[in-house]
């Protein structure tokens, strides 16, 4: 494992440890009063993760939790024979891992090179248990995640391939397309398929259909331009 993992050369109580943190104002730490930040900092460690590396395995003991500082990670569940479903994506400032539980229900794998602020679950649990503001923030985030997961259950259980792809594009556009001038997909076709519960071929065909219908353009492998947003939204909802 050591060969895949690199620790930054600071850890714990550093002069500019959290102050300089890229997600200081957006991660759960933001809820803590200044005085409580120091003890949390002392149990946290920065770690870099290479794309493709898995931080937590489905079904294994829950030993780690973390804040995402930079990069993207996927949360996945798999069947015994290798079928995979992405059940969540963690971006910068998101919290990952399973506090207050014996085992992790899903794997966590880096989609891009990433950096996280890591805690052992035991230490984090103990800290959180004594800091209600932190638990409150965690509760709010977990409730939001649960809402998102349940919305996705509707997509996976009841929506057609076209609706699924359109829904994903609308979500991505909302997240990434500030200027309305198109955006870069942060993931490839296979991962789109793993999110949507489809095959890579079906995703590709649906994108092609939308392109031929003039709803979107695909100027590159990862590039998407939405030409007709209302049409895309209509596709996402009804059919």
Partner DNA sequence: CGCTCCGTTGAAGAGAATCAATGAGCGTGG
Partner DNA sequence: CCACGCTCATTGATTCTCTTCAACGGAGCG
What are the residues binding DNA (CB under 7 A)?
Answer: 160-162, 188-190, 197-205, 207-208, 218, 220-222
Q: Which does 189 bind (CB under 5 to 8 A by kind): its own copies, DNA, none?
A: DNA
Q: Which of residues 50-89 bind its own copies (CB under 8 A)?
A: 75, 77-81, 83-85, 87-88
From residue 14, how far is each of 105, 111, 115 by CA, in Å? Answer: 33, 29, 17
- Give yes or no for a contact between 189 and 224, defined as CB atoms under 8 angstroms apart: no
Q: Which residue's entry shows tokens 């500030």?
A: 178
Is residue 222 a contact point for its own copies (CB under 8 A)? no
The residues, any chain, with a CB within 8 Å of residue 102's CB and separated by 6 or more, are: 61, 62
Instruction: Identify the CA nearest to 218 among candidates 183, 190, 186, 193.
Output: 183
* Torsion sign across C-alpha atoms 41, 3, 48, 85: negative
Neighbours of 141 (CB within 10 A): 15
Is residue 121 a contact point for its own copies (CB under 8 A)? no
* Nearest approach, Cβ of residue 127 and DNA (Å): 39
Q: Which is nearer to DNA, 31 or 160 (CB)?
A: 160
Q: Which is nearer to DNA, 54 or 204 (CB)?
A: 204
Is residue 146 a contact point for its own copies (CB under 8 A)? yes
Q: In residues, how long is the chain?
A: 239
Is residue 238 a contact point for its own copies (CB under 8 A)? yes
d(CA 116, CA 45): 8
The piece of 3-11, 29-37, 39-47, 136-144 that touches its own copies (CB under 8 A) is 136-144
* Nearest approach, Cβ of residue 122 and its own copies (Å): 16
DSSP bridge partners of 46: 117
Q: Which is nearer to DNA, 27 or 207 (CB)?
A: 207
d(CA 179, CA 103): 42
* Nearest approach, Cβ of residue 153 and DNA (Å): 14
Q: In 3-state terms, what secondary structure has residue 91? A: coil
Q: Fill in the per-residue mask, 181 to 200: x = in contact with its own copies (CB under 8 A), - = not in contact.
A: ---------------xx---
Q: Fill in the per-residue mask, 158 to 177: x = in contact with its own copies (CB under 8 A), - = not in contact.
A: xx------------------
Q: Which does 218 bind (CB under 5 to 8 A by kind): DNA, its own copies, none?
A: DNA
Is residue 25 a contact point for its own copies (CB under 8 A)? no
Q: Tell me the DSSP string of 132-176.
A: HHHHHHHHHHHHHHHHHHHHHHHHHHH--HHHHHHHHHHHHHHHH
d(CA 197, CA 199): 7
Q: Which residues bind its own copies (CB under 8 A)?
A: 75, 77-81, 83-85, 87-88, 98-101, 105-106, 129, 132, 135-136, 138-140, 142-147, 149-154, 156-159, 196-197, 237-239
């Amino acid at each position: 494992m050591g060969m895949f993992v690199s620790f930054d050369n600071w850890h714990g109580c550093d002069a500019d440890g959290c102050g300089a943190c890229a997600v200081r104002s957006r991660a759960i730490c933001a809820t803590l009063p200044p005085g409580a930040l120091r003890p949390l900092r002392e149990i946290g460690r920065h770690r870099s993760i290479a794309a493709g590396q898995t931080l937590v395995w489905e079904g294994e003991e829950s030993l780690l939790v973390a804040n995402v500082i930079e990069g993207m990670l996927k949360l996945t569940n798999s069947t015994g024979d290798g079928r995979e479903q992405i059940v969540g994506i963690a971006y910068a400032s998101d919290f990952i891992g399973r506090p207050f539980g014996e085992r992790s229900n899903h794997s966590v794998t880096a989609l891009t090179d990433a950096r996280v602020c890591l805690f052992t679950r035991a230490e984090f649990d103990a800290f959180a248990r004594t800091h209600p503001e932190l638990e409150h923030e965690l509760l709010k985030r977990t409730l939001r995640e649960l809402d998102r997961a349940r919305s996705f259950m509707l997509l996976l259980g009841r929506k057609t391939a076209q609706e699924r792809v359109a829904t994903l594009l609308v979500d991505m556009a909302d997240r990434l397309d500030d200027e309305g001038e198109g955006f870069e997909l942060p993931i490839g076709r296979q991962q789109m398929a793993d999110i949507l519960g489809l095959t890579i071929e079906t995703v590709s065909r649906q994108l092609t259909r939308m392109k031929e219908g003039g709803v979107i353009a695909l100027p590159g492998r990862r590039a998407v331009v939405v030409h007709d947003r209302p049409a895309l939204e209509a596709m996402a909802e009804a059919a």
